[in-house]
Amino acid sequence: MSWQQGQIGYALAPMVARGVMLGPDQPIILHLLDIQPAAEVLNAVKMELIDAAFPLLQGVIATTDVVEACMGVNIAIMVGGFPRKEGMERKDVMSKNVEIYKAQASALEKHAVENCKVLVVANPANTNALILKEFAPSIPEKNITCLTRLDHNRALAQISERLDVPVGDVKNVIIWGNHSSTQYPDVNHATVTTGSGEKSVRQLVADDQWLNNEFITTVQQRGAAIIKARKLSSALSAASAACDHVHDWVLGTPKGTWVSMGVYSDGSYGIQPGLIYSFPVTCEKGEWSIVKGLKIEEFSRKKMDATAKELMDEKSFAYSCLK
């Protein structure tokens, strides 16, 4: 297992080492990658991981060498990217990240195990994942995904708060599209488990005005709200969502439940192939499948297309950076 260490990495490492991601019976060897200026801090993280004496943790490799980090990994969690700094355009960040993900694609392709599963967390997550896929053609495209489980969990949590029900009783929200403020959090198929069976979220909330406006913008803007309050982007919730994403991908989704994952579009729901787009998926035996046949009404259609359009624009820009 490998990722680049930072805020999310620091939150993620103990979760993985405790078995949160892969269950209580799966021994773990962590490969931690960071850039050279962070080498000493990275080594301190390794010392802390050793000191925590996690029973499942069988080894920690802390390195600044991407080849060593990728060597033999089964699961790669890509949390590293170039952060936007004051005075920088989104475009400047994208062009830097495109180069980073291109280089890491080659290292993963050459050195990770053949069936390595990849989760891209760093922004722009969908487009970074797409670049990684394009430059690692021998990694099966089904193995390259990006994180929208964070948005999915945020949507579940908003409904849980609104209805004052346990979050574990809410299921089947959907995040469509990009992990950005154009994402579309959709509750049209979401349900709450109650004493008298499963009930529709839309019926229980009984406030379409709230569901079609404030609910959507709260989820879309939650990352920005965290940055504003914390002066840093979300870390513990992102790490927890990364654990949920990989956990369900590897160990399966519960019967009757789907989750949201950014995956390579196969054209489902009219979303053009060639994008990494967030869809509702179920997972079984280590493979995800897009949930088919959900009815999409006009309001949703427009929002799903708008976020697809943003991804197409990001893709064109990413490619223009590579020329």
- Residues serving a catalytic function are 179
Q: Is 120 annotated as a binding residue?
A: no
State yes or no: residue 226 binds ligand LMR (CB under 6 A): yes
Q: Which of 8, 41, 311, 304 is nearest to 176 (CA)?
A: 304
CA of 213: how far to CAs of 180, 208, 218, 220, in Å? 17, 8, 9, 11
Q: What is the distance of C-alpha 29 from the center of its chain?
A: 21
Stretch that binds ligand LMR, among 105-113, 226-234, 249-257, 288-296 (CB under 6 A): 226-234
Contacting residues for 213 by C-beta, under 8 A, at least 6 apart: none
Nearer to ligand LMR, 234 or 265 (CB): 234
CB neighbour class for 106 (10 Å; exposed up to 12, middle 13-18, buried from 19) = middle
For residue 112, give both structure tokens: 């990770």
84-143 positions binding ligand LMR, by CB under 6 A: 123
Q: Among 177, 223, 262, 280, which residue interacts with ligand LMR (rule: CB under 6 A)?
A: 223
Q: Which long-range contacts (CB under 8 A, 24 or more apart) does 219-224 make?
A: 219/151, 219/154, 219/155, 219/158, 219/175, 219/183, 219/185, 220/181, 220/182, 220/183, 220/185, 221/181, 222/151, 222/154, 223/150, 224/181
170-199 positions binding ligand LMR, by CB under 6 A: none
Q: Among 45, 150, 187, 271, which residue interacts with ligand LMR (rule: CB under 6 A)?
A: 150
Using the structure block, give the residue that is written with the tokens 């574990």.
Answer: 168
Q: Is 188 annotated as a binding residue?
A: no
State yes or no: residue 240 binds ligand LMR (CB under 6 A): no
Nearer to ligand LMR, 123 or 127 (CB): 123
Nearer to ligand LMR, 201 or 219 (CB): 219
Q: Is 84 annotated as a binding residue?
A: yes
Using the structure block, give the residue that is written with the tokens 């830097």.
Answer: 96
For residue 86, give both structure tokens: 């004051």
| Smallest gap from residue 231 Cβ to ligand LMR (A) | 12
State yes or no: residue 9 binds ligand LMR (CB under 6 A): no
| Smallest gap from residue 151 Cβ to ligand LMR (A) | 7
* Binding positions for NAD(+): 34, 97, 121-123
Binding site for ligand LMR (CB under 6 A): 123, 150, 223, 226, 233-234
Binding site listing for substrate: 84, 90, 123, 154
Annotated binding-site ranges: 34, 84, 90, 97, 121-123, 154
